[in-house]
A and B are shown apart, each in its own frame.
Chain A
């Protein structure tokens, strides 16, 4: 259906053209190149070193980007936390940015900023440490130089824990030495010890016994006051220098950062291209590419390549039966957003069809039933429309937003028929009571009062989807000319399941009672037919019958499949009840004048936002699960590989033309 047919493409040319051909192919983004292994391949010897060069360059740019990002003010929002946005640039702007970047000194500028800032930081660190050492001694009025010049004594400046001071003093005084305390803090005492040169060894022993810190004063010469002043001066100079650099970064950084982004993306694409070179077969003078191309692109691309390159031979052919071409999906504008859901499960294999259009209506309806609140639907639609318009990312990554938009519209309907408008907002608040009649008019059933109706609806929808899944499998088998499977494994089951439900109906609904006998007989006949056919793979008669009987047990698995859809009720109720709780909470605050209104508004917005987010998320994952486990299980094989052509992949920037 919507799997695009693929063609195999062969391309032979002269080595001189090779890089140009690859560049062109990368710009077009239409060909997935297949890796071919040959024994005697004239591989490109320079390629590995080229690739590692590029990787190194990429690392360098990345570290520059990380550095600049911290200093350049970039407008960023909460959204960036979830979806980092890209920079839209045209080709012209890219070239200009690179040119300016190189004129401005390129990496050199950024890296010199980085190293200067680091140097300044470490210098300031050392100076602050010096300052800390000297500050306790700032009132000493002799120069440190003069201490070193003393003939008979050595002077030590140090610090000791308060508790040890008394014993320490005693021991020091036991030698030809003296101690004087300069300053005390809550934990430490700063002191000066003067010791005669003859007893320096013993005094040092005392120092290490009490684990005393002795400050190294080698780099100082003046009085502590003078030294402190000079340290301050130097710190001031460094700080000023840092501010200058930061100012410069602020001025030029933004443009440099953008240029780095462009550079990064360019190199990244070079890397991709060179890595593809490794997949290509080379002879001494020729190269040979084989790969996959969408049939609809093939003709145009062939002509374009042959026109651009004179010595190029291009040929396309249909895939061989043993080939497994990659899978590209194409759907109309309503169903294509649902490719997101298919993509989560995995692509169909190339011999299947695309299940996306089949699951799309179910997905939208189930999602809506899980959310069941009209206002949430409206908000969800508006929000996803807004993001779709304003997010600067590649278009194919916006499919989720389109999906949420569609599901939001369906949710409005589901909310209306179940009476969910911010829960029971018009019932809860008197000033909104004008809306109550409209709400009541639209309600088909109230899930809180009649959960059984909702449950019935959920199970019925589930039953329909499961029968539909079996029906698809039947068509698939018919198409593959496996008529036995189609009739015995699917048609019989469909009829059996339908007749069970119908028979149940005839016993409960008064008007259908007259048919109950016929229905019962039909069900029995179908059961017998299943018993007769389901064991057909077994050899002996006995095994045929027992495995036929055993297969009836599958009714249980169909039953559990259908019951799984009851989650629609549970999730739908959850939204409604939590919304009601929020409204009740707001009401309890309404008695307080003014402040109550403020608290109420905050709770109302926060509560409903929370409820909407949680339940949208729940609706999405649970609806997906129903598709994957209950629906896909009936017919879908999967295992396809997504079409992944050689193309430009950009991390930080995006084509401006694509955005508009």
Chain B
């Protein structure tokens, strides 16, 4: 049973690591957007994307968490019980997405907030502000990718 618990810990880490990163990131970007919206409400459409962008880390974390849940068969079906080492493997496999999501979410929020400043002055630059913020996200994606591939390789 310890194996299952460890695997669940991994799943939980992935979800809340990405979740924390995203909530801080979206929080930073959202505050900047709210400030600009009070002056220029017509830019809502452009700003929404910038504010939402740091939210993806949370989704990636959730995704990894779900993959673990489905691997354990916890959502109905026949639950499998991994032994302790398999549980540890799953736990470690979850770390890339958890940590990279946590850190990149926060930083992406900062870049997005800076992008809001760009949109404030020149709305036609919204696309470029987005691309700059996306540069940060690459590492969350690579983290997710590593987690997916690792989970895929673990045999129970």
Contact = CB atoms under 8 A, between A and B. Distances in A.
Given A81-B45, A617-B49, A618-B56, A567 B138 contact: yes
B63 A574 contact: yes
Interface in A565-579: 566-567, 569-571, 573-574, 577-578
Contacts of A452: 149, 152
B9 interface: no
Contacts of B55: 614
B92 interface: no
A344 B127 contact: yes
Given A84-B42, A567-B138, A577 B145 contact: no
A567 B131 contact: no
A22 to B, nearest CB: 25
A608 to B, nearest CB: 14
Contacts of A573: 63, 148
Q: Is the interface of A mostly helix, strand, loop or mixed?
A: helix
Contacts of A570: 60, 141-142, 144-145, 148
Interface string A214-228: 000000000000000
User: 9 shortest A-B CB distances, which residue pairs?
Assistant: A344-B127, A82-B45, A570-B145, A567-B141, A570-B141, A621-B134, A625-B134, A570-B144, A577-B63
A577 B62 CA distance: 10
Interface string B58-92: 01101100110000000110000000000000000
Contacts of A343: 127
Contacts of A451: 148-149, 152
Nearest to A449: B152
Contact of B59 (A82, A83, A578, A588): A578
Interface in B30-48: 42, 44-45, 48
B141 A571 contact: yes
B46 to A, nearest CB: 9
A83 B66 CA distance: 36
Nearest to A621: B134
B66 A577 contact: yes
B130 interface: yes
B156 interface: no
Contacts of B134: 621-622, 624-625
Chain A interface category by residue count: 20 to 34
B145 A569 contact: yes
Most chain A beta-carbon neighbours within 10 Å: one of B55, B60, B141: B141
A471 interface: no
A578 B55 CA distance: 15
Contacts of B131: 344-345, 621, 624-625, 628
Contacts of A81: 44-45
Contacts of B62: 578
A515 B127 CA distance: 48
B120 interface: no
B14 interface: no
A610 to B, nearest CB: 10
A581 interface: yes
A455 interface: yes
Contacts of B63: 573-574, 577-578
30 contacts: A81-B45, A82-B45, A83-B45, A84-B42, A343-B127, A344-B128, A344-B131, A345-B128, A345-B131, A451-B149, A455-B145, A563-B142, A564-B138, A566-B145, A567-B145, A571-B141, A574-B59, A574-B60, A574-B63, A574-B144, A577-B63, A577-B67, A581-B66, A584-B75, A614-B52, A621-B130, A621-B134, A622-B141, A624-B127, A628-B131
Interface string A78-96: 0001111000000000000
A629 B135 CA distance: 9
Given A83-B45, A577-B66, A455 B149 contact: yes
Contacts of B152: 451-452
Nearest to B45: A82
A192 B52 CA distance: 61
Contacts of B75: 584
A581 B137 CA distance: 23
Contacts of A566: 141-142, 145
Most chain A beta-carbon neighbours within 10 Å: one of B56, B62, B135, B142: B56
A614 B59 contact: yes
Contacts of B138: 564, 567, 625
B14 to A, nearest CB: 12
A387 to B, nearest CB: 13
B29 interface: no
A345 B127 CA distance: 8
A563 B141 CA distance: 11
A622 B134 CA distance: 7
